[in-house]
Structure 1
Amino acid sequence: MKKSIILLFLITLNSCKPSPTYNAFDKEFDISLREVVKNGCDTITVGCGFFNLREKNGKLRNYYQIYVEDWDNVVAKGFDYILDTVYLKEEKEFGKISNLKISETQIIELNTELKKYGFKFYNQKEDEFGNNSVEIINELSEKTFELEPLTEWINQKDLVVYRQLSYFKGK
């Protein structure tokens, strides 16, 4: 009896998925989504049956993406970094805010968050449509990644918008 309890315990231990690392840059996708939910997260619909389980707090909010028909498997991960909150005067200003450059203060704040993962701000560039994006660089490998500028309505009635940078990595 004692041996079967120990064996059952060992099997249970081996079948558990590891806790989430909340690191969008690592290679770990096989994590316990139960832990993500237990830690508290926002469930955000991103279209076509996909959901992001995103951290609720902080400027840098990591997420794990799942498909509704396969709830136990992470298909992608990434993060949203909230640059600032913008209060618009009228709705037609919404399209213009993605063109705003990122200030030196915002770069310093971004570097504080990215430092945890071995990255830092590298470059800010503008595309042919006038939209700004940010490149970050890994301090060891010198590999660069582009962060996509996004805007997210917080309260459309009162014209309140998050301006953010986003990083996405598929499985």
Structure 2
Amino acid sequence: MGKNNDSQYQDSTSSHLRLLVSNGGKSSNIRSTLDAVVTTTQNYSKNSVENQISRPELDAKLETIEARMDGRLARIEDRFASMEKTMEQINQSLEKQRNTPWKAASATIAVMLATIIAVGALAFTAFDSGRETAQVAADAKADIAASAAEVKEMIKSLQQAQQAPAQAAPQPATQQEK
């Protein structure tokens, strides 16, 4: 408020002096102008005395302002502390996540290797199975061929057995020959 009153005082004094100069410096005008300047000055001093603050009031206001500022600073410090905690939690979770891709990659590689080994084992098993199947088929073919040869021999022997009794048995005599 002191600055505002100063500027009002300067403005009114300047306007009174301009009025004095514009009237050509006539004595009646000078007197009225000087009276106006004195009145303005008195009003200024009266206002500044009323606006003055006593020392205890000033101390009380400063303490109030200081208490407010301390509260604000405490809130700001609390916010920074909570931000630090949050950043620490974020760093911890990021640290955990940094290892996750490596774990996933190693698990994927392990699964791929196990699949390759399983396919290889199945291939060898299938090859061995095919070789064994071929051996079994060859054995079966040989058994069938042997059985077929035995059956042919049996058929031959049966045919020979049927032809041999017919040739060995005499024909019965007919009644005319008797």
TM range (shorter): under 0.3
What TM-score comes out, normalization by structure 2 length? 0.14
What TM-score comes out, normalization by structure 1 length? 0.14
Higher helix residue share = 2
Structure showing greater radius of gyration is: 2
Greater relative CO (CA pairs within 8 A, separation 6+): 1
